[in-house]
């Protein structure tokens, strides 16, 4: 199993550009989520999904969209990038029966 994979690893955007961060998991997990990691602030939940077709907002959803058309994939879209979205983004998945969340390797995004 590859676990949770994320692409790209690094990305530089200009203010106003859009892009999609990809996340996929091959563990048949129902729950998937996106976090951003900023120095001194830990990880903050952006959006999450409890299954295909179901998404909900986390703590910091503004400026981000998600969709969950399949169990495996959970892309995160930045519609109009802003410098405040410079961060490291982590995708995670877990079984809804509880237990550990499995994290992807992260995407380091810089918005200039």
Partner 1 sequence: AQRVTQPEKLLSVFKGAPVELKCNYSYSGSPELFWYVQYSRQRLQLLLRHISRESIKGFTADLNKGETSFHLKKPFAQEEDSAMYYCALSFQGAQKLVFGQGTRLTINP
Angstrom distances, CA of residue 58 to CA of 48, 61, 72: 7, 6, 20
Cβ closest to partner 1, residue 4 vs residue 81? 4
Distance CA 6, CA 90 (A): 8
Contact between 105 and partner 1 (CB under 8 A)? yes
Q: Which of residues 18-47 bind partner 1 (CB under 8 A)?
A: 31, 33, 35, 40-45
- C-alpha angle 54-9-110 in degrees, rounded to nearest 5: 90
Contact between 57 and partner 1 (CB under 8 A)? no
Binding site for partner 1 (CB under 8 A): 31, 33, 35, 40-45, 48, 50, 58-59, 90, 92, 94, 96, 98-101, 103-106
């Amino acid at each position: 199993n590859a676990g949770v994979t994320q692409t790209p690893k690094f990305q530089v955007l200009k203010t106003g550009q859009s892009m999609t961060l990809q996340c996929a998991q091959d563990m048949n997990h129902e729950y998937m989520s996106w976090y951003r990691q900023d120095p001194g602030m830990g990880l903050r939940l952006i959006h999450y999904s409890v299954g295909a077709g179901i998404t909900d907002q986390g703590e910091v959803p503004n400026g981000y969209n998600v969709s969950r058309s399949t169990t495996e994939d959970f892309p995160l879209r930045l519609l109009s990038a802003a410098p405040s979205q410079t961060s490291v983004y982590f995708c995670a998945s877990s079984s809804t029966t509880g237990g550990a969340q499995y994290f992807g390797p992260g995407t380091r995004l810089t918005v200039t």
